[in-house]
Amino acid sequence: MRINQSFRLKHPDKFKHQLMQWASSHNSCWVFDGQQMASKFKNFDAVIAVGKRSLVKSFDYNALEKLQTFINQSNDWLMCCLSYDLKNTIENLTSNNFDGINFPQILAVQPEKVFTIIDNKLECFYTEDTSTEIETDFIEIQELNIDLKLKQQFLAFDSRLTKEAYLSIVHQLKSHIKRGDIYEINFCQEFYAHTPQFCGFDAFKQLNLQSKAPFSAYVKFDEFQVVSASPERFLTKKNFRLISQPIKGTAKRGQSLVEDQNLIKELATDPKELAENIMIVDLVRNDLSKLASKASVKVDELCRIYTFEQVHQMISTISCELKPNVDFTSILEATFPMGSMTGAPKIEAMKLAEAYETTKRGLYSGSIGYITPNGDFDFNVVIRSLLYNAKTAYLSYMVGSAITDQSIPENEYQECLLKGKALQEIFCKA
């Protein structure tokens, strides 16, 4: 049982940053920041949780079964990380590539304290044994001075693939497409560094300043830190409505308003980008149809252009009304991994990605999110993200692009660099 208390905030944005900084000092910290999210799709401006009451941390092939049991037994707020390699428990697949992070297939935590912010309303959900701390925590958070001085750390990232190797693989993948093995594949590559000192929350603040991504997340737990500036939603559930918002199609920002508008027009009419997006929309519609009540799957937005600080993105929105008595793991089994990170057909694309990629994706291409006590949830797609293992001092990010028959290998390589630009810049700015 949780004790709930509400507060009205005079300065909600300031308090949100104070709360995030306060949370980052805890050993178990989960931050979800919904900045710049379209209001019609927004659940909260922020969800922040600290502490650990109970958890599931699984590397096993029965990870999904453990997660569903945990959800049923807790009936509470849960913070979750779902690794891409859960695909191996859903389908007859394997992952044997190099893994420098070693993130579990599932990490799900029942926190001690949960905070939600929407507009100027703060709600605090404390376990009974911590409920006496609500008032003192609130005062402590309000009195906290926000540290805007970002500690600069200079790092150079190495690529797991040379440019020449990347271009060669894209040519090979296009051969698979020409033979009809697949229609589209999301091919990813890793950039990495070794550093014994990494402050993930400083990196998170910097990325928030630069990217203002609507599905940003910061996780600190055990030896792991995750810094995500994700612009993409995997799935959200509110009552019986399920919504997916895949991204396919990326363009850089312009140097002027006129250039920006021209780039938006080019992206919106680019045959290759439109084909990518529509293929994934069809895939998502098929996934949702396994869960939906009759004739309820619909495309709410098709190939709409959304503008972010670093890039323009082509995003579609697909929704459905769920059948009765569909549990969380059944939803995952029908939809995970998200089609925007696999390709189509999904299973064959995942097999080829495993064969040609050099790094195990782990949490990258997976999802971070939260589940509420009534079973609603919101999960992002782990892209534009830094992953860190303190035990091995290994810091990593991955980037990818969708390869189709129309792909120009050099352009795909440049798209990968564009997606990783913000992640690199926070370590090289003076």
Measured between its terminal Cα atoms, the distance across the chain in Å is 49
Tell me how far apart the alpha carbons of residues 377 and 382 are, in angstroms, rounded to a whole number: 16
Helices (H), 117-256: 134-142, 163-179, 200-211
Tell me how far apart the alpha carbons of residues 221 and 244 are, in angstroms, rounded to a whole number: 27
Active-site annotation holder among 112, 184, 190, 232: 232
Active-site annotation holder among 16, 205, 248, 346: 248
**Helical packing angle, 328-335 and 271-289, nearest 10°:** 140
Tell me how far apart the alpha carbons of residues 138 and 141 are, in angstroms, rounded to a whole number: 5
Beta bridge partners of 403: 185
Active site residue 248: yes
Please name the helix (run of DSSP H) or strand (run of DSSP E) that holds residue 347, with its range, or none.
helix 346-356
Active site residue 232: yes
Contact between 246 and 314 under an 8 Å Cβ cutoff? The reply is no
CA angle 205, 208, 209 (to 5 degrees): 90
Tell me how far apart the alpha carbons of residues 82 and 20 are, in angstroms, rounded to a whole number: 22
Q: C-alpha dihedral over 396, 401, 402, 403, to 10 degrees?
A: -100
Tell me how far apart the alpha carbons of residues 11 and 34 are, in angstroms, rounded to a whole number: 17
Closest CA to 279 of 411, 404, 189: 404
- By annotation, the residues acting in catalysis are 232, 248
